[in-house]
Chains A and B, each alone.
Chain A
């Protein structure tokens, strides 16, 4: 491999085997020819319509509208789950917003492969309109999948809000 530094009219270029890999301008700003960081799985989704959630029942929230999904790993049409294709440690942020304040307990939880692994947020005996939280978990990059659920003790069924900034489910790779 041959690495060379060549001056230009405005700065210099660094070449590898004759191909420019970095450009440096006269102020020292460096521009790579390709992304310095590889694209990693990350997604953000919210709910498009009110979803009825029965009391005392862990219910999957159908986050069906994507803000973004960099690696097409989030299923926003059928199972509302994130199945990352890169193994590593992922942070998840989950929030569920209700249509109005209710007196009762509300929990949100992260499920991995269909089982609850973290209650990421809870509020008890208060007027609740929303609750959220985060968790850091490992994914094997092939079969592991993740979903957001909520649970409440409010008198009967309540509706989640379709307020785009209120109920959301997000995840992203932190470390391989």
Chain B
């Protein structure tokens, strides 16, 4: 089963793993072992916590569901 990370890379193929790294990344995916906060783009309990990428826009839930 594709993870949220897998689906984001399909929706935004210009991104690399470096964009998600703890020290260098501008995107934070998170899983709090519970239902994600309301309104967050998510797959299961994984959700987009922070999206500060300079050029790539955050995918919508519909985009994630569609890839």
Contact = CB atoms under 8 A, between A and B. Distances in A.
A58 B17 contact: no
B3 A156 contact: yes
A151 interface: yes
A57 B29 contact: yes
Contacts of A12: none
B35 interface: no
A151 B22 contact: yes
B28 A58 contact: yes
B20 interface: yes
A24 interface: no
Given A107-B22, A116-B22, A59 B17 contact: no
Interface of A: 53-60, 62, 79-80, 105, 107, 109, 114, 116, 119, 122, 149, 151, 153, 156-157
29 contacts: A54-B4, A54-B29, A54-B46, A55-B3, A55-B5, A56-B5, A56-B17, A56-B20, A57-B5, A57-B30, A57-B31, A57-B46, A58-B22, A58-B28, A58-B31, A58-B49, A59-B30, A60-B31, A60-B32, A60-B33, A62-B33, A79-B34, A80-B33, A105-B21, A114-B32, A122-B22, A149-B30, A153-B17, A157-B3
Given A54-B4, A156-B6, 4 more contacts: A54-B46, A57-B29, A59-B31, A114-B32
